[in-house]
Structures are given as structure tokens and as C-alpha cells.
Structure 1
Amino acid sequence: MTEGINNKAAVAKAAVVTGASTGIGEATVRALRGEGWTVYAVARRADRLEALAAETGAVALPADVTDDADVARLLDEVTRAGGIDTLINIAGGARGADTVAEAKTGDWEWMFEVNVLGTMKLTRAFLPMLRAGGEGTVLNLTSTAGLSAYEGGGGYNAAKFAQHALTGALRLEEAEHNLRVIEVAPGLVQTEEFALNRLGDQSAAAKVYQGVEKPLTAADVADVVRYAVTAPHHVNLDQIVIRPVAQAANYKLIRKA
């Protein structure tokens, strides 16, 4: 009996991680490679992926998760390489902090495209493979912005609420296939690019974290992702909310002088 358990624990694990060129996605690649997993690192920026692959031993697969042709190519390459049992959808982001009254259509379209449709397209493509393996996992990185709205966050709130709902529906639909579906929803995370990409200005981005004692780091969140996907398969951590202690809620953030 013990031998069988040990043999099962020794089975090689493999994951696709999107958004792998920076931030939480990059940190997740590092965390899973540290566990000995085969990791297919996916993002648009090939140069950053190649550097990460050279350092960690991950497999660099440049692709745009919103592009149907790229998704089909990605599925084909992963299939030929041996397949995966875990899909980790981290690619996403925010653009702008406008009120709904001042909303920029292009920003909203981009946020829905990458956060919602990108997640859907990758998940739809890999579901047959994940089902066939018998013990598949999908982990979607959402946000506390998908659980509670805030002023100036309308577009990001809407996209992340939609991704949160997609994740819940997927869990209900795929339980009969023994597929576990995990949602990790971080609060304030200080990364290299998130606030900069959202606000378009380094000074404005720095103010997001100004005075906050120990905001979360990409490595903090990646460690939670690692824990969730390496837990025994019958353990489904449906939803994990992770915030820094300084952030008691989206609207309550302690800043020190």
C-alpha cells in the first residue's frame, strides 16, 4: 500500500503557465520548476521567456492567449511534447483607473480580451487533455477586484468579476470529470509592471504602493499557487483570497508616513 502511494507521488507533473514573462506568472514558473515540474512558460515576449527558460529549465512557448491561431499552435506543441495535467491562467492585467463616466472603450475591450476571453480560450483548448488525464487541474488567477468593486476600477472590476464567474461555472461543469478548479484572488501585489501598465506612468505607479508596509510580492502569490496545485488532487481549494496585512479590504489600506 505504501509503495503504491509513493509511486503515485512520484508521477511527473506538467503545467502550462500563462503570463510567464513577468510578475506572478514568472514567479510561478520558478516555484513549480523548484518542485521538479515540467513547465511550459507562455507569454508574448519571446526574449523574456527565453531568458527564464535558460535560467530555470522551463520550456519557452511564446504565444498570445487571445489569438486563436496561437492557442491552437500552443495546444499542438504541448500535445507533441507529452501534454499537461495542470493549466494555470495568470495572463491578465488592468488598463486605466477612470470612472465609468469617463471610461475608455479600448481599455475595457483589452481587459475583457486578456482576462476573460484569454482564460476561456486556453481553458477550452486544454480541457480535453485535462479530462483525459483523469486528475486535471485548472487554476485561474483572478483578483479581489473581482469580488468587490471600487471607484475607478469599473473596467477591471467588470473583467475580473467575469473571470471569477467563469471559474465558478467551470468548477460546477467539470467536477464530473474529476477536474479541480481553483481560484486565487490576490489583493495588493507590488510587481514590476502591473501598476505601470495600468497607469502608464512610473511616478503614478509608485504612488499605488507608497507608504504600504510589506505589500505582497509576486513570489508570495506564486507560493500560494504552488501550494494549491501540489496539494493532493482530491483537495480542491475553491477560492483563496490573499492580501497583505496592511490591506484589510479593497477600500481599507494602511499607509504609513
Structure 2
Amino acid sequence: MSKIALITGATAGIGEACAHVFARAGFDLILTGRRQERLDGLAKKLSEQYNVGVATCAFDVQDKEAVIANLESLPAVWRQIDVLINNAGLSRGLDPIQNGAYSDWETMIDTNIKGLLYVSKIVSNWMINNGFGHIINLGSIAGKEVYANGNVYCATKAAVDALNKGMRIDLLPHGIKVSAIHPGAVETEFSEVRFNGDKERAKKVYEGFTPLSALDVAETILFMASRPAHVNINDLVLMPTAQATATTIFRQ
């Protein structure tokens, strides 16, 4: 029987790269995201290219009731999840705390923290019942080091760091693995979303150096998920060679 990976935020960036990498490794997939048409297109491509089973669930992780309804509607065979990749997350705005928009704060908190919790609560209970599983949480270097104007985004990723440690302790008696990966600069739609679609401003973030790609992160996540049963990578920081800290980047 094939292993199953559930990937949130699978329609772009790191989530989409994870879908390809895990499908290539022979995993059947449950893909979630907000855009059904993107999910359908990705599912078709993956099933044809890698000959794997793909189920899709279109919902926003901010919506607790939608998360519960969609996941609980999955047939029993799809609840035998080996790996949960809590990838859905975003940043909105880059303003000092006194100028931050309430709507940006709420979106980041509801997605990066509450959304992760909603999905994890359901899937962790399935894993406990199944007697196996591995939860991999997508953090950020922003959760390790606060930088100017990062305030609330950094706080949400620091919360992911803390929740990851808490999950590791709470799920230890059940034999469930828990890991976090904290990437530095990754060139995806991340900066476009942060800057509300301003492609030129987003492009400048990655000028003068080679950032990580979504594939770099996805392949590292697969490495974490494929360690022997007795090995758990608790916490992994992944950076471009040109980036030493959240704010120290050597640009040429």
C-alpha cells in the first residue's frame, strides 16, 4: 500500500513543489488549497506523471468549519496519513507596528497559527488511532530572528516554532514524529503576497544573490520524512549560502 501525504497550501510555491517531490517518491496525496481549479489541474498532472492517487479538498485553513467539514468528509482509506505537511501560510505587509493593518494581522494569525492548529488537531487524532504518522511544520527564519517591520509575521512563525515543540512533547507517547523546517529567503509568490501583488517590489527582495527555490525546500522536507523510524529531525534551519541571518545577505 502506498504511503499518504497531506499537504496544505498545495497550489503554489513550496506546497506545490512538495506535491511533485512526494508524488515522485510514490506517495499518494491529499492536496488542500483555496483554488479548486488549481487543485484539479495539479491533481491531473501528478496522477498522470507519477501514477499516484490524488484527492483534493478546496478550503481556506482560516475557516475552521470548512477545515473540519472537508477533512472529516474524507473516506477512511484516505485517513491513513503518513505525513502531514503544514505548509499553508503567508505574510501580509511590511510595516512598523504602529502602522500595521488590522486585516493583515488577522489574516496572518488566522492562517499561520489557527489554520495550522485546525488541521493538526484532526490529523493528529487520526495518526494516534493509526499508530503512526509524521507532522512537518513550515516555520521560517522569521520565527527565529525578529527583523524590522516583521513584527506580526515574525510572531506567527515564532508561534509555529513553539507549537512544533509542544506537539513533539504531546505526541511523543503515541510514536508520532513532529518536525519543523525554517527556511530563509525562498523565491516563490511569498513576497508578491506580502506586497499585495507588487511584482517589481517583490523581485527586488531576491536581487544580487541566489535564494532557495521551492524545490530546495521540498526535497529537504522529503529527506526529513524519509528518515528511519527511530530518527526524528526536530528542527531544521535551511538558508541560501548567501544568507547568514534573517537580515544578513551578501549581494553581488
Bin for the TM-score computed over the shorter chain: over 0.9
Number of the residue aligned with 1:249 = 245
d(CA) in 2 for partners of 1:82, 1:154: 38
Number of the residue aligned with 1:80 = 76
The superposition leaves residues 33-74 of structure 1 with CA deviations (integer Å, 9 ceiling, x where unpaired) of: 001111101001111111110100232221211212221222
Structure 1, 98-107 or 217-226: larger mean CA deviation: 98-107
d(CA) in 1 for partners of 2:98, 2:126: 43
CA contact (8 A) 2:64 2:115 kept: no
The amino acid across from 1:56 in the alignment is L
**Structure 1 residues without counterparts, runs of 5 or longer:** 1-10
CA contact (8 A) 1:85 1:129 kept: no
The amino acid across from 1:97 in the alignment is L
CA contact (8 A) 1:190 1:215 kept: yes
Secondary structure class of the residue paired with 1:40: strand
Q: Equivalent of 2:100, from 85, 98, 103?
A: 103
The amino acid across from 2:56 in the alignment is A
Number of the residue aligned with 1:8 = none
TM-score normalised according to structure 2 size: 0.94
d(CA) in 2 for partners of 1:86, 1:149: 29
Number of the residue aligned with 1:62 = 58
d(CA) in 2 for partners of 1:100, 1:70: 31
The amino acid across from 1:68 in the alignment is K
Number of the residue aligned with 1:165 = 162
> What is the 5 A alignment of 1:35-74?
35-57=25-47, 58-74=54-70
Secondary structure class of the residue paired with 1:185: strand
Number of the residue aligned with 2:200 = 203
Number of the residue aligned with 2:173 = 176
Cα root mean square deviation, aligned:
1.1
CA contact (8 A) 1:61 1:74 kept: yes
Structure 1, 110-119 or 61-70: larger mean CA deviation: 61-70
d(CA) in 2 for partners of 1:81, 1:42: 17
Number of the residue aligned with 2:88 = 91
Q: Equivalent of 1:144, from 133, 138, 141?
A: 141
1:82–1:103 distance in 2 versus 1, CA, 3 Å: closer
TM-aligned CA deviation for residue 15 of structure 1: 1.4
Query: Identity over aligned residues, as a percent?
Result: 35
The amino acid across from 1:45 in the alignment is R
Secondary structure class of the residue paired with 1:78: coil
Q: Would you say 1:15 and 2:5 are equivalent positions?
A: yes
Q: Equivalent of 1:194, from 190, 210, 220?
A: 190
1:85–1:143 distance in 2 versus 1, CA, 3 Å: same
The amino acid across from 2:36 in the alignment is A
Q: Equivalent of 1:224, from 202, 220, 236?
A: 220
TM-aligned CA deviation for residue 104 of structure 1: 1.4
Q: Would you say 1:123 and 2:120 are equivalent positions?
A: yes
CA contact (8 A) 1:18 1:88 kept: yes
Q: Would you say 1:32 and 2:22 are equivalent positions?
A: yes
Q: Would you say 1:185 and 2:182 are equivalent positions?
A: yes
